[in-house]
Chains A and B, each alone.
Chain A
Amino acid sequence: MTALLEVDGLTGSYGSFTALHGITLAVQEGEMVAILGANGAGKTTTLRTVSGTIPRRGRIAFGGRDIGRLPPDRIARLGVAHAPEGRGTVAELTVMENLRLGAYSRPARAFRDDLQRVAAYFPWMERRGGQQAGTLSGGEQQMLALGRALMLRPRLLMLDEPSLGLAPIVVQDLYRIVRTLNREEGLAVLTVEQNAMLALESATRAYVLEGGRVALEGSSAELRGNESVRRSYLGY
């Protein structure tokens, strides 16, 4: 079976600085995969190379198609939704406009259904559709970023540190929604998470990055049992 996302020998760089040194990973249809690692290990860079926002080399296949040279907007239209670190909403637009923006690549007639589906998870977005996104709380903005990403009707959802700077209760809420999307709708999810405990609870598999390379990979259960993962990332 070919995986939904297959990455092989991927390198990514910022100007002259190379942040990834040939990583290989895969996400199957309907799977939820986490990427763990310390700051600067290359987690965020991995997502950026997949969504095409930074220069990269290596093989990236999505649904069997090579996307390694496509620009980010084309990759998004193929069904890769990336909610980047630090929100990923347009602060100057309203909540509803952000959702409409998310639906940019979808046919106009699908909008009503798509919106209903998103609003089922985030009822407040419809109620407060006219509010400017920049005036939302941090948690709400993260939710809106997720909502915007879902409006794309993605086949793969990539979340970058969704828990960053949010209150624990908001984080719980967010992950509950993501798990539901994954389990009930079969949406494949690739998430980057500093909070390893949280990530390993939700994901079925995980990769541990160190210095821009894959140091470890395995099922969540395996990794939770791994001595060094426990010491370095779970802290017990």
Chain B
Amino acid sequence: MTHRSRVKAVAGGGVLLAAFLTVLLLPGFVSDFRASELAYVAIYAIAILGLSIVTGFSGQISLGHGAFMAIGGYTTAILVADHGVTDLWTIPVAGVVSGVAGLLLGVPALRLTGLHLALATFAIAVAFPSVLKKAEGVTGGSQGINLFGVEGLTGAIAGVDVFGRHLTFNEWLYYLSWSIFAVLGVSAWLLLRGRTGRALRAVRDSHVAATSVGINPAAYKTAAFGLSAFYAGVAGSLFAIATSFVNPATFPVALSLTLLVGAVVGGLGSLWGVIAGAVFVQFLPIWIGKLPEIEALPASVREIANEPGIPSVAYGAAVILVLLLLPGGAAGVVRKLRTGL
């Protein structure tokens, strides 16, 4: 190991340790409510990570990852509410169910161009709530499934004791979500920096070249889509636990689009970008809601900040501006996508 790379490794380790400590200790400094908001950041981060795997590594976009979250969320809700399974055990199951759905869609998706996949996944996002509504026998129709007060939901009422420390439900949710994000994030990082990542990038950049060095592009692309859906399913499962309730309106088109907003703003690809995107998605409406309290701002800005629709305007504008202006976040996407098409 050279001196320079050793310094780099130590610095990298330091940053990771600092991040770990921040996440570990943060709930001690913030309100219970803020802990739940931060838990949602981790949940979004998991889903956005999944989305980044498809986009960053196969050059395609999915506008329907909210539907995979729905599959994961409903899997958890049904298992917990109807079959008495403890919520923790349903999380991997939800990921697998959603991942299998992703694999099933991934096979036909191989034949689609980037634009056609966007169309197909958008259609899924729009139509999926109707499917959920219609499958009343399993999903409870428009009524949905309530988890609050159900036995399998850990700590909803009394909180949880972990390693001798008492955690409120929101704190528990926070640690649960961030732990899972850490595990999935590190796995994705390990997976994608090695041989598999190189293979996927090769597939994205050139189908022919990849095939000629013995990579099977179809298998890799399908696997990427399945893995991506697995992540979304896990996120959906946590989402269901966090809201303690699912119905078709829990997973609207807007959710799918919000994930894309996070992915675009985060720049697609790096773990830090994914967290940044998730923070943006979760906190932008909250920050905008706080604007009226800032006296330094002109009255007109403070007045409109609380109007309905303003967060959406900001989301939409952010997507367009990031794609237009940010070479780090978006030009990276552009560079990746250019060869992907």
A–B contact (CB under 8 angstroms): no
Interface residues of A (CB under 8 A from B): none
Interface residues of B (CB under 8 A from A): none
